[in-house]
Structures are given as structure tokens and as C-alpha cells.
Amino acid sequence: MENIKEKLVKNGISPSVHRIKILEYLSKNFTHPTAEEIFHSLSNEIPTLSKTTVYNTLKTFEEKGLIRSLSIFEKETRYEYNLSPHSHFQCVVCGKIYDIDETFEFDDNRFVEGNKVLEHYVIFKGICKKCLQDDKE
């Protein structure tokens, strides 16, 4: 937890219990959760946690560059702690989203057919290992 506190302070964020727990949750759960999922996962542990606090905290974390929001999966925004270059795999059976190491050589801030690219994402869709295994049983 000390590492999380240090990271918050280093980025100019006061390390409240709510903020520490939310960032800690994201650092341990690479499931690309929604704000609702984060709230439901932490609300028993932190009874004073509100949905508004979760949304505001996630916005602050994103503004400070600690996390990234992804609005590329259906109509919901998901959050991730892993800021290193990677792709995503979404299972069409269970809906889970996984980080995968597959990367493509492509720099942000370059031009493609005269258009300036600020971000890019690669998403694979299919059936995850777990669902494939469950289907065999």
C-alpha cells in the first residue's frame, strides 16, 4: 500500500483511503473494470464509498496519467492501470477483457493519410481460453 500512497503523492494527489483503495484495486485487477464494478467490489470494504467518489477519483487518476479510460468496448467506459503498449482480447462468450502482449509498431502522434493520430487501439474478439475449456467439458 505504501507504493500506492507514494505514487499518489508524487502525482499531486492527496492519498485518501478511497483513492488508495481504488488505485490499489486497479493495480491488482487487470480486468478493465467499469466504475460500477469498482464501486461494487469495494463498497463492502469501504461503506462510505459512493459512486460519485469512484467516478471523480477515476477522472482525477486519468487526468494525472495514472490510468487510462477505454471507451472502445460497447457503450461503457472501462479503466486500466497497465499503461505499457499492449493489445486487448474481448471474449464474445463471457465478455471479459484481457491484456495481451501482442503489439504493433505504431507511434502515436504520427500522420496516417493526412490525419494526425493521437491514440490507437488493437482489439481482438473471440472466445477466451476459459470459455473454450468450459465448452469442452
Strands (E), the chain: 68-73, 76-80, 87-91, 97-100, 111-112, 115-116, 123-126
* Helix, strand, or coil (residue 112): strand
Question: What's the rounded Cα separation, in Å, for the pair 2 and 25?
Answer: 14
Beta bridge pairs of residue 88: 99, 123
How much is the pLDDT for 119?
A: 74
Would you write out the chain's pLDDT as a tens digit for each of its 137 residues? 569 999 999 999 999 999 999 999 999 988 889 999 999 999 999 999 999 999 999 999 999 999 998 876 667 888 888 888 788 888 889 888 888 877 666 666 678 888 888 777 788 889 999 999 887 77
**Nearest residue to 31 via CA among 21, 19, 41:** 41
Name the fold adopted by 2-80.
Arc Repressor Mutant, subunit A (1.10.10)
Distance CA 117, CA 106 (A): 10
Q: What pLDDT is stored for residue 1 in this prediction? A: 56
Domain ranges of the chain: 2-80, 87-136
